[in-house]
Amino acid sequence: MTREAALLWGLMAGILPVMGFLTALLSVGLSRLLLWSSGTSPDWYGRFGAPWLEEAVKVASLAFLIRPERVAFMVDAAICGFAAGAGFALLENLAYLEMLPGGGVPLFVLRGFGTAVMHGGATAIVGVIAIALRRMGRWRAMGLGLLVAIAIHTYGDAAILTPLQERLTVVLGLPPLFVLIFERSERAMHNWMGQKLNQDVELLDMLATGNFANTPAGQYLRSLSSFPPRVLGDMVCMLQISSELSAAAKGDRIQTWAGLPVEPDAQLESRLVELDFLGRSIGLAGRRALAPLLPLTSRDRSELRSLQDKARP
């Protein structure tokens, strides 16, 4: 089973739909409270108010699920988002079944399928944006994703098109978008594995042979002479541990692809603790100055964590 398939089945069948379901319960309760307290017309609220509340509660649950150290790739975030959104749609459709009797099974199926894709797709997009734009900060990226999700949801609920046209747009428009995201994620994975692994190994080799000072990276570090020597030393240490962990993450991934079991790394925790110590030691300015050289990304960290979690007995 491929990595994506294993994740898909694990998450789709596991906690995410349940969480989506619970999120929908919360959303229904809050919606009723809002309608009761504000006196807004249910029709207006359903079209323009509900998307804000529903997307906000879905994103809140997604923010918990796609913590940076747990999810590294856009495709994983999309799967998490889709499963959570689809779980949400399940309860919503059950509520509609109770509120809008009649119309027959075909209408219920068409509506249910459309809302599942819309809710799943909108939340998946938030996850994708959160990972793709993580450099701008997790919460900012999530906020931007939330606005996009609200726009999609509002479009779905605003009755601009006929219900059939609107469902067709969502059902036909979102899948190609996700194919594009999956392909891009796959390319990012190959780039991470190939090019970045070579860079990690080169850096480790330069550090091990004592030639680091003569490399462009070493010269860059020397140019940071405004930092105390102790901080410069810890920057070298940070580069060493970062490149070791970064290379280890890729090694674990290669083993998994080859169908081999990943050996638990007894030193992983202590290295991560040391990395935190070094981060504090060099301070914010040091971390910013070192950032262009640091090989360990949040993607490496999450890959390591997830593979090592699985490797533990």
Partner 1 sequence: MMAVRTFLMKTGALIALEGRMDAASRDLLQAAGDRMAETGAKHIVVDMTRLTYISSAGLGVLVRLSSILGKAGCSVSLSGANGVLRTVLKITKIGTLFRIYDTADDAMSAEAG
Judged by the rule CB under 8 A, the positions of this chain that interact with partner 1 are 207-210, 212-213, 218, 221-222, 229-234, 236-237, 240-241, 267, 270-271, 273-274, 277-278, 281
> Which is nearer to partner 1, 19 or 239 (by Cβ)?
239
Give me the least distance between CB of 296 and partner 1, in Å please. Answer: 15
Give me the least distance between CB of 291 and partner 1, in Å please. Answer: 18
> Which is nearer to partner 1, 187 or 280 (by Cβ)?
280
Rounded distance between C-alpha atoms, residue 151 and residue 136, angstroms: 21
> Which is nearer to partner 1, 81 or 286 (by Cβ)?
286
Residues counted in the chain: 313
Give me the least distance between CB of 306 and partner 1, in Å please. Answer: 24
Give me the least distance between CB of 274 and partner 1, in Å please. Answer: 4
Best CA proximity match to 129, nearest among 160, 150, 103, 108: 150
Query: Are 166 and 156 a contacting pair, CB within 8 Å?
Result: yes
For tokens 């995201």, name the residue.
181
Rounded distance between C-alpha atoms, residue 241 and residue 247, angstroms: 10
> Which is nearer to partner 1, 40 or 215 (by Cβ)?
215
> Which is nearer to partner 1, 146 or 207 (by Cβ)?
207
Tokens encoding 196: 């970045």
Give me the least distance between CB of 224 and partner 1, in Å please. Answer: 10
> Which is nearer to partner 1, 129 or 207 (by Cβ)?
207
> Which is nearer to partner 1, 122 or 206 (by Cβ)?
206
Rounded distance between C-alpha atoms, residue 151 and residue 85, angstroms: 15
Name residues whose C-beta falls within 8 Å of residue 93's C-beta, 6 or more positions apart in sequence. Answer: 108, 111, 112, 115, 116
Give me the least distance between CB of 236 and partner 1, in Å please. Answer: 5
Rounded distance between C-alpha atoms, residue 302 and residue 308, angstroms: 10
Query: Are 207 and 247 a contacting pair, CB within 8 Å?
Result: no
Tally DSSP H helices, then E strands, for the chain: 13, 0
Rounded distance between C-alpha atoms, residue 192 and residue 26, angstroms: 39
Give me the least distance between CB of 279 and partner 1, in Å please. Answer: 11
For tokens 């938030």, name the residue.
126
Q: Which helix (H) or strand (E) holds 179?
A: helix 163-193
